[in-house]
């Protein structure tokens, strides 16, 4: 394998990868990991060009910056992968501080002609490969599970190749400014080719991460109401299937609240649909402020919402509904033609494993309509109809559960 031909082909390939990644990151600017991937490829391309000029220019202009750029490029790749699997901002800058110390220390040792100075970069690079592979295996979950495992395997391969080249450097080329003579060493060349192959595989994984993220966003959009940000009916049904199965398996209580804005049509007719939309958005924001992380809120109709409360008995769900009702009653929403005010009616029903989710939803809906018929702006809890011969409340709703305030 001719060293010059290898680098020419490798550079041409990386240029295509870099341009493609830059274009994709531009059209997917809301995906921060893509920007890091594009920056990593740009930096890696600069490193590759300098490495290809080895022997044609003094080592201080080729080997020295190329080795530093390699570590920087990998740090950027680590940041991009972290954006996808950890999905939290890096709060402490110490990884970049340590990388900065290494990037400064290496040129000092290189210029001082200190043997084995390449280890200043080799050891951190090996550690970074291992830490990134661990991150992928530790945090890659759900839609990213398969791609994270594949990426982790590739990173372990890159770590192995880097370790082999580190051993080769220490045994035969301890002076990094002399590695130009390694171009005739087939072990050096083939390990470079292995590294280039794994780097190409990594680019494919980065594209796979983008496709997975876009599919994940599309799936979320299919389950989300675009106006309010709450789940839609489909999203609620998916959550209900999960929570009802959990309730039946462990015996945990489960309740549903159905709520509806009172006289919503009148609000739309008198203030316009923009005012109605603003009221719906404000209601969702207020309801979310009363919910826990495991609770589920969905828009199931025009002005109708459902709240699924895991690990919550009927009395607790009624308390939540009443708190929401009181806060809505006091709510004033700024609007161009004056503040918007409205009230809600709510119904609560517990989950009965023998009857299923649809029955719970119908019962909560019946309790909500009973609240509307009995004067609106109140919360009721559903109770089963009484046996024949006994006086039964209308709609099977217990009047004793009406007032908490």
Please write the tens of the pLDDT for every residue from 286-315.
999 999 999 999 999 899 999 999 999 999
Cross-strand pairs, 254: 310
Q: What is the mean pLDDT of residues 198-225?
A: 94
pLDDT of residue 396: 45
Token pair of 173, please? 């080329």
pLDDT of residue 220: 85
The pLDDT-based confidence of 2 (bands split at 50, 70, 90) is: low
The pLDDT-based confidence of 384 (bands split at 50, 70, 90) is: low
Q: What is the mean pLDDT of residues 105-133?
A: 92
Query: What is the phi/psi pair of residue 14, to 5°?
Result: -70, -30
Strand order in the sheet with 304-310: 296-299, 304-310, 254-261, 344-350, 379-381
Q: What is the mean pLDDT of residues 154-182?
A: 84
Q: What is the mean pLDDT of residues 191-207?
A: 94
Pick the residue with more confidence: 388 or 81?
81
Span(s) in the chain for CATH 3.30.70.270: 233-401
pLDDT of residue 174: 74
pLDDT of residue 325: 95
Token pair of 188, please? 């050096």
Site of tokens 């590739």: 154
Q: How many residues does the chain have?
A: 405
pLDDT of residue 401: 44
The separation between CA 135 and the C-alpha centre of its own chain, rounded to angstroms, equals 15
pLDDT of residue 392 exceeding 50, the answer is: no
Q: What is the mean pLDDT of residues 163-185?
A: 78
pLDDT of residue 204 exceeding 90, the answer is: yes
Per cent of the chain over pLDDT 70 is 92
For residue 304, CA distances in Å to 55, 113, 228, 236, 345 come to: 73, 74, 12, 13, 10
- Cα(128)–Cα(77) distance, integer angstroms: 11
pLDDT of residue 23: 97
Pick the residue with more confidence: 328 or 115?
328
Contact (CB, 8 A) for 106 and 68: yes
Count Cβ neighbours within 10 Å for each residue of 262-300 and write b for 16 or more, e otherwise: bebeebbeebeeebbebbbebbbebbeeeeeeebbbbbb
- Cα(288)–Cα(286) distance, integer angstroms: 5
DSSP 208-234: HHHHHHHHHHHHHHHTB-TTT-SB-HH
pLDDT of residue 234 exceeding 50, the answer is: yes
Q: What is the mean pLDDT of residues 104-132?
A: 92
Token pair of 292, please? 């826990």
Q: Specify whether domain 233-401 bears CATH 3.30.70.270.
A: yes
For residue 385, give the DSSP letter.
P
Cross-strand pairs, 255: 309, 350
Q: What is the mean pLDDT of residues 232-255?
A: 92
pLDDT of residue 332: 93
Class of domain 3-222: mainly alpha
Pairing of the two strands 296-299 and 304-310: antiparallel
pLDDT of residue 182 exceeding 90, the answer is: no
pLDDT of residue 185 exceeding 80, the answer is: no
Cross-strand pairs, 345: 260
For residue 53, CA distances in Å to 46, 97, 235, 337 come to: 11, 30, 56, 69
Q: What is the mean pLDDT of residues 179-198?
A: 81
Instruction: For 255-285, write each residue's pLDDT tens digit.
Output: 999 999 999 999 999 999 999 999 999 999 9
The H or E element that residue 298 is part of is strand 296-299
Contact (CB, 8 A) for 71 and 102: yes
Contact (CB, 8 A) for 336 and 344: no
Is the alpha carbon torsion for 332, 336, 337, 342 positive or negative?
negative
The pLDDT-based confidence of 394 (bands split at 50, 70, 90) is: very low
The pLDDT-based confidence of 5 (bands split at 50, 70, 90) is: confident
Cross-strand pairs, 382: 397
Span(s) in the chain for CATH 1.20.1070: 3-222
The separation between CA 18 and the C-alpha centre of its own chain, rounded to angstroms, equals 24
When mean pLDDT is compared across 175-179, 362-366, 388-392, the lowest value belongs to 388-392
């Amino acid at each position: 394998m001719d060293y010059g031909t290898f680098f020419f082909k490798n550079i041409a390939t990386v240029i295509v990868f870099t341009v493609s990644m830059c274009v994709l990151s531009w059209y997917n600017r809301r995906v921060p990991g893509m920007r890091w991937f594009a920056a990593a490829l740009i930096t890696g391309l600069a490193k590759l060009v300098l490495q290809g000029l080895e022997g044609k220019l003094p080592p201080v202009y080729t080997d020295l910056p190329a080795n530093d750029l390699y570590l920087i490029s990998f740090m950027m790749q680590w940041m991009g992968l972290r954006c996808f699997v950890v999905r939290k901002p890096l709060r402490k800058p110490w990884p970049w501080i340590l990388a900065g110390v290494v990037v400064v220390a290496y040129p000092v040792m290189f210029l001082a002609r200190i043997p084995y100075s390449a280890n200043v970069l080799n050891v951190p690079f090996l550690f970074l490969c291992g830490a990134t592979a661990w991150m992928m295996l530790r945090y890659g979950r759900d839609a990213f599970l398969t791609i994270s495992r594949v990426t982790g395997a590739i990173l372990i391969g890159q770590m192995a190749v880097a370790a082999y080249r580190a051993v080769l450097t220490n045994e035969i080329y301890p002076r990094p400014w002399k590695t130009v003579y390694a171009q005739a060493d087939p072990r050096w060349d083939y390990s470079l080719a292995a590294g280039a192959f794994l780097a190409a595989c990594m680019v494919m994984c980065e594209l796979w991460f983008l496709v997975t993220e876009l599919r994940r966003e599309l799936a979320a959009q299919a389950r989300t109401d675009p106006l309010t940000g709450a789940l839609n009916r489909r999203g609620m049904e998916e959550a209900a299937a999960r929570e009802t199965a959990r309730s039946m398996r462990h015996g945990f209580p489960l309740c549903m609240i159905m709520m509806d804005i009172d006289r919503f049509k009148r609000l739309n007719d008198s203030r316009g649909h923009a005012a109605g939309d603003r009221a719906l958005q404000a209601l969702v924001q207020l309801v979310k402020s009363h919910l826990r992380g495991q609770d589920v809120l969905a828009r199931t109709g025009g002005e109708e919402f459902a709240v699924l409360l895991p690990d919550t008995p009927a009395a607790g769900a009624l308390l939540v509904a009443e708190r929401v009702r009181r806060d809505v009653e006091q709510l004033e929403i700024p609007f161009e033609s004056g503040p918007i005010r409205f009230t809600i009616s709510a119904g609560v029903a517990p989950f009965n494993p023998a009857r299923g989710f649809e029955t719970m939803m119908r019962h909560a809906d019946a309790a909500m309509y009973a609240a509307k018929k009995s004067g609106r702006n109140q919360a009721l809890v559903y109770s089963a109809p009484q046996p024949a011969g006994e006086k039964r409340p209308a709609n099977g709703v217990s009047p004793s559960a009406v007032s908490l305030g």
